[in-house]
Amino acid sequence: MNLQMPTKPSIKRRFWCSKKTIMNLKKVWIKITVMITVVITVVSCDDDFNSVGSEVIGDVNFEDNEYNATPVAYSQQFGRVQTSGLPNNLLGIYNDPVYGKSTYNIVAQVQPEGFNPDFGRNPVLDSVVLTIPYFSRLVETETNDDGEIVNTYELDSIYGSNEINISVYRSGYFLRDFDTTGDIEERQIYYSNDINDNFGATVEERLLFEINNFIPEPDEIRLLSEADESDDDADNGDSDGDTNGEPQVATSAPALRRALLSDAAADAANILNSDSDVLRTGNQEIINYFTEVFLDRDGSIELSNANNFFNYFRGLYFKVDSAPNDGVLMFFDITDADFTLYFTSETDEIDTDDEDGDGDTTEFKRGTADLAFNFSNNIVNGIVTDLNSSIQDELTNQDVENGEENLYLKGGQGAYAVIDLFNKYVEVDANGDFILDENENPIIIENPTEEEKVKTELDFLKSRDWLINEASMKLYINQDLVVSGETEPERIYIFNMDTGAVLFDYPLDPTLNTTSPILSATDHLGPIVRDSDQNGEFYKIKLTRYLINLLNEDAENVKLGLSVSQNVNVVVNAEGFTPTNNEDELIIPFSSIISHEGTILYGNGTNVPVEKRLKLDIFYTESTTN
């Protein structure tokens, strides 16, 4: 009988099959191991990349090199700059240790928080309070011996420590919204010189407040619900008392706060002879004036809408002066400021208990109310800068063809630097090929003839097959001309002069931070680098992506502007003009106009130390063959 072979292999056969399989696996693993070893060796090898490259790609090596491009750089002074539409405003006097004194005034429109206000029956104005908050930060909160919570603040954006005088006027100059001399659909632009040169005496129609010997203080504002001798800032019932009859304390951050009180209110508050933030001289006269201007206009057309109101009450003018050159400068947001009317009017309830203590029990009780006016719409900063004569002479005579040894950067109605990259002409032979020096760099032609204007430095760079790793400029501070220390600007800003736009490196900066301007865009726009004595040494600006796009012809080679910046997150631009030609329009960053500080950077020239001359350092990788 034929029996089928068993389907299950014998032990011997199974062993043989396993042995063969193992031998095949060994061969595969050997190959895999060799490949892994090669990869690991390549990745972890301590030899330089060029050596590895020659092993992998035949005779091609890769080398890291550096090229230094020397731009033409000079300064451009502003004759006047746009100061309407600023993101923030400045008020006061700043004496720059290098550039000289600048005075900042403000003309601003105001409008009531609501139109067609109802002042009630027989309204009586008690006080007018002006409040301008400072930029500040809370540093400590504690409870005093009386159980009161006390906040300690530190002021920010206050420059200088000397007193100034501030006069606040009702302005008679009408700030129109649209340009009636040109395109009526275009918003009217106002400039830094308009208050002094164009508005004239109409901005001083009526003096309302005088604040003499003023300097900002970090004290928090503390208001009591019931006035007493210890409360110099009492504002007649602006806060509510507690159930025990004890005065309630309302607190707010530090601010410039001044109050005009009527004689009756001041007498009730018992502060006629106190030294306080309450202005007393001629108060009743001013109170009567505000009564006539506002309370007596109850139901009038002037208070019915914005257009009528702006034409009727045309704004306030803040004018500063100081006997010495030094003063103090406030940087603040005027849209957070206001002036408020506090008044009383008759209610429908009879004062039968003679609560006011005047002996009359037949009169109506009076209720309290207020109306706030906010600063809005057209707000114009006036800037008067008295440049030091030596700097003025330098700015008047700039060499725009060859560049200057010093670059003057000054905020406000100041100046910025112009940087012209890669437009110098280089030597070429009869065939149009580049003639190179011993370092394989192009030879720059100084003062080229028309026949020599064939190819530029940019043409040379485009002809190279370079991988750009980094392009950056170190802008060294001329410490011989600058007073080093806290008056030096922390940031500078670079932009396209044709359009005002930021460069390609700006939006790609991983440090871009819209909530912290001082720490924002620090990779592209490096903050000031200081030495051990806190003296400014240099700024570093990276232009890597800008250069790559330029070489790839994705961008046009334009002149670049370099300015100081109060806030590098502000990328909106304003208009300005040169001092000599009102038709020669400039694009100026708002972040420069709201800056008050200045610096002087090294440009190029024989008197500039070689290691501090302005240049663009280009670090690149290129392939070479053996």
* Whole-angstrom Cα Rg for the chain: 36
Question: What token pair was written down for 498?
Answer: 């044709």
DSSP classification of residue 584: S
Report pTM.
0.84
Cβ atoms of residues 346 and 198 within 8 Å: no
- Alpha carbons 93 and 385: distance in angstroms, whole number: 10
Task: Give CA angle at 354 (353, 360), nearest 5°.
Answer: 125
When mean pLDDT is compared over 75-84, 215-224, 236-245, the highest value belongs to 75-84
Interval 447-470 mean pLDDT: 96
pLDDT value, residue 626: 54
Interval 196-210 mean pLDDT: 95
pLDDT in tens, 153-165: 999 999 999 999 9
SS (H, E, C) 503-515: CCCCCCCCCCCCC
Q: From 504, 516, 468, 517, select the one nearest 616 (Cα to Cα).
A: 468
Question: What token pair was written down for 4?
Answer: 């089928």
- Alpha carbons 504 and 508: distance in angstroms, whole number: 7
Q: Which residue, chain included where needed, has tokens 């109101």?
A: 309
Give 271: exposed, middle or buried? Use CB within 10 Å, 0-12, 13-18, 19+: buried
Give phi and psi for 550, each to the nearest 5: -65, -45
Q: What is the largest CA-CA distance in the chain?
A: 143
pLDDT value, residue 223: 82
Percentages of the chain per state (helix, strand, coil), in multiples of 5: 20, 40, 45
Residue 470 Cα distances to 138, 473, 512, 590, angstroms:
41, 10, 19, 29
pLDDT in tens, 299-357: 999 999 999 999 999 999 999 998 677 899 999 999 999 999 999 999 878 867 776 66
Going through 29-188 in order, the beta strands assigned E by DSSP cover: 60-69, 72-77, 80-81, 89-96, 100-112, 121-133, 135-143, 149-156, 158-160, 164-170
Bridge partners for 110 per DSSP: 375
Cβ atoms of residues 296 and 341 within 8 Å: no
Residue 498 Cα distances to 401, 421, 502, 560, angstroms:
18, 14, 11, 8
pLDDT in tens, 67-98: 999 999 999 999 999 999 999 999 999 999 99
Buried b (16+ CB within 10 A) or exposed e, 470-483: ebbbbbbbbbeebe
- Alpha carbons 195 and 210: distance in angstroms, whole number: 19
Question: What token pair was written down for 339?
Answer: 């002036």
Model confidence at 144, in pLDDT bands (50, 70, 90)?
A: confident
Model confidence at 361, in pLDDT bands (50, 70, 90)?
A: confident
State percent of the chain over pLDDT 70. 82
DSSP classification of residue 396: H
Question: What token pair was written down for 305?
Answer: 């809408």
Model confidence at 388, in pLDDT bands (50, 70, 90)?
A: very high
Residue 300 Cα distances to 116, 151, 304, 341, angstroms:
8, 43, 7, 17
Residue 280 pLDDT > 90? no
pLDDT value, residue 237: 38
Residue 246 Cα distances to 83, 226, 227, angstroms:
48, 8, 11
List the 573-577 sheet strands across, edge first.
Answer: 80-81, 573-577, 585-589
Cβ atoms of residues 441 and 67 within 8 Å: yes
Q: Which residue, chain included where needed, has tokens 């001083």?
A: 204
100: left (phi over 0), alpha (psi -120 to 50) or beta: left
pLDDT in tens, 568-620: 999 999 999 999 877 789 999 999 999 999 999 999 989 999 999 999 999 99
